């Protein structure tokens, strides 16, 4: 039996970090995916390979450990391990035979583009199929969020929701709203990727300790971020290009104030604006990772300039969400 599953990455347009504290965020799934192939082995071990990253190792579900073969950080393998454990607990079924899992990534890892959520969602979808369970996106999204919480310590449900369902969403953890946004226009977005990995869990912790130390300063930042997201939702429906750009720029300034900016991110953000982007900001956790630039009519120019400094690529919203198949 061979199973394939895929799940898209995401970009947060507005509200990262604030969303961890219940504030709303707007994010879109993007046309860059994680693909998983899952097949049985003749022994009873679970082996994962990620050819592009050069990371491979054996997962021990019993004692919940990872034996990396090449002295790498366990990183992405931890999400696969937790997903397989959670699936066993959820279904009451056990992996009786060994598995060979091959991971292919169209998304750089640690780039703020939701690679860990996409890996988790794709693993869960493949494992449900392996156990011949029905394909239930709500269940996958719920368990994937649980996996992120277990591995990272803290996480909002935004990445896992988008990787599961695709499309564009407005999500407000405080009010429990997850609203699908019907964006019927091609939003011209470019990613600038700094090639420096960031650790979402660590960045969330840094922001939390700032919030605890300076609540009277940090809480209003989150309130402003909330207002930005609310206004951005309106601006998106009105297709108000200028306002969307301005709101992104405000949001970036506030992320900088939270301390998740870096000199390279900053350079790319301003370079994008100088090259004609209406707005640009960090996307995701920051501390490395990526920026997003909103560039109506200027996509090629922004891409060209960003590529001179770091990596850059255009993205489109993906309506697909996770997919699974048996071959
Ligand atoms: C990570 O993509 C975005 C953060 O808001 C964390 C989260 O929402 O889980 C920083």
For residue range 9-45, list pLDDT tens digits in order: 999 999 999 999 999 999 999 999 999 999 999 999 9
CATH architecture entry for 2-182: 2-Layer Sandwich (3.30)
Determine if ligand 1 sits within 6 Å of the CB of residue 284.
yes
> Does residue 122 contact residue 36 with C-beta atoms inside 8 Å?
yes
Cite the active site residues: 159
Task: Give phi and psi for 7, each to the nearest 5.
Answer: -150, 140
Give the CATH number of domain 189-315.
3.30.70.890
For residue range 246-259, list pLDDT tens digits in order: 999 999 999 999 99
Tens place of pLDDT per residue across the chain (327 aa): 799 999 999 999 999 999 999 999 999 999 999 999 999 999 999 999 999 888 899 998 989 999 888 766 678 899 999 999 999 999 999 998 999 999 999 998 888 999 999 999 999 999 999 999 999 999 999 999 999 999 988 899 999 999 999 999 999 988 888 999 988 788 999 999 998 888 888 999 999 999 999 999 999 999 999 999 999 999 999 999 999 999 999 999 999 999 999 999 999 999 999 999 999 999 999 999 999 999 999 999 999 999 999 999 999 999 889 999 998
> Does residue 108 contact residue 56 with C-beta atoms inside 8 Å?
no
Domain ranges of the chain: 2-182, 189-315
Q: Tell me how far the alpha carbon of residue 285 lies from the centroid of ligand 1, in angstroms.
A: 6
- Among 207, 259, 303, which residue's Cα sits nearest to residue 280? 303
For residues 166-195, one letter each, b for 16 or more C-beta atoms within 10 angstroms of the residue's C-beta and e for the rest, the string is bbbbbbbbeeeebeebebeeebbbbbbbbe
Q: What is the largest CA-CA distance in the chain?
A: 59
Question: Which ligand 1 atom is nearest residue 117's CA?
Answer: 2
Same CATH fold assignment for domains 2-182 and 189-315: no
Sheet holding 311-315, edge to edge: 279-283, 290-294, 189-193, 311-315
Question: Which ligand 1 atom is nearest residue 286's CA?
Answer: 10
pLDDT reported for residue 69:
84
Give SS3 for 188: coil
Task: Give phi and psi for 323, each to the nearest 5.
Answer: -130, 150
Residue 268: alpha-carbon gap to chain centroid: 20
Token pair of 242 as six digits: 């200028």
- Among 217, 164, 150, 191, which residue's Cα sits nearest to residue 284? 191
CA distances (Å), origin 130, targets 6, 103, 134, 137? 14, 16, 10, 16
Q: Tell me how far the alpha carbon of residue 16 lies from the centroid of ligand 1, in angstroms.
A: 5
Question: Which ligand 1 atom is nearest residue 154's CA?
Answer: 9
**Ligand 1 binding pocket mutation candidate from 12, 150, 287 (most atoms within 8 A of CB):** 12
């Amino acid at each position: 039996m061979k199973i394939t599953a895929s799940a898209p990455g995401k970009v947060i347009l507005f509200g990262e970090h604030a969303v961890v504290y219940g504030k709303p965020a707007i994010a879109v799934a993007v046309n860059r995916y994680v693909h998983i192939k899952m097949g049985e082995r003749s022994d009873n071990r679970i082996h994962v390979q990620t050819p592009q990253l050069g990371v491979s190792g054996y997962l021990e579900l019993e004692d919940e450990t990872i034996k990396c073969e090449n002295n790498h950080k366990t990183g992405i393998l931890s999400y696969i391990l937790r997903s397989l454990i959670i699936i066993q607990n959820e279904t009451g079924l056990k992996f009786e035979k060994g598995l060979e899992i091959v991971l292919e990534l169209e998304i750089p890892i640690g780039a703020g583009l939701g690679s860990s959520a996409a890996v988790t969602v794709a693993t869960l979808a493949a494992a449900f199929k392996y156990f011949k369970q029905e394909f239930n996106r709500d269940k996958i999204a719920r368990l994937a969020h649980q996996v992120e919480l277990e591995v990272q310590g803290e996480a909002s449900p935004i990445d896992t929701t988008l990787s599961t369902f695709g499309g564009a969403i407005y999500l407000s953890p405080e009010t429990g709203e997850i609203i699908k946004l019907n964006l019927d226009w091609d939003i011209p977005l470019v990613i600038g990727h700094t090639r420096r990995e960031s650790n979402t869990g660590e960045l969330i912790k840094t922001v939390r300790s700032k919030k605890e130390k300076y609540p009277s300063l940090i809480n209003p930042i989150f309130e402003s971020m909330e207002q930005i997201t609310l206004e951005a939702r309106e601006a998106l429906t009105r297709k108000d290009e200028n306002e969307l750009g301005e709101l992104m720029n405000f949001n970036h300034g506030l992320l900088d104030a939270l301390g998740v900016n870096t000199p390279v991110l900053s350079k790319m953000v301003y370079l994008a604006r100088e090259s004609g982007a209406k707005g640009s900001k960090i996307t995701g956790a920051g501390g490395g990772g990526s920026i997003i630039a909103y560039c109506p009519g200027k996509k090629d120019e922004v891409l060209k300039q960003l590529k001179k400094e770091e990596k850059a690529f255009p993205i489109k919203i993906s309506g697909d969400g996770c997919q699974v198949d048996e071959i």
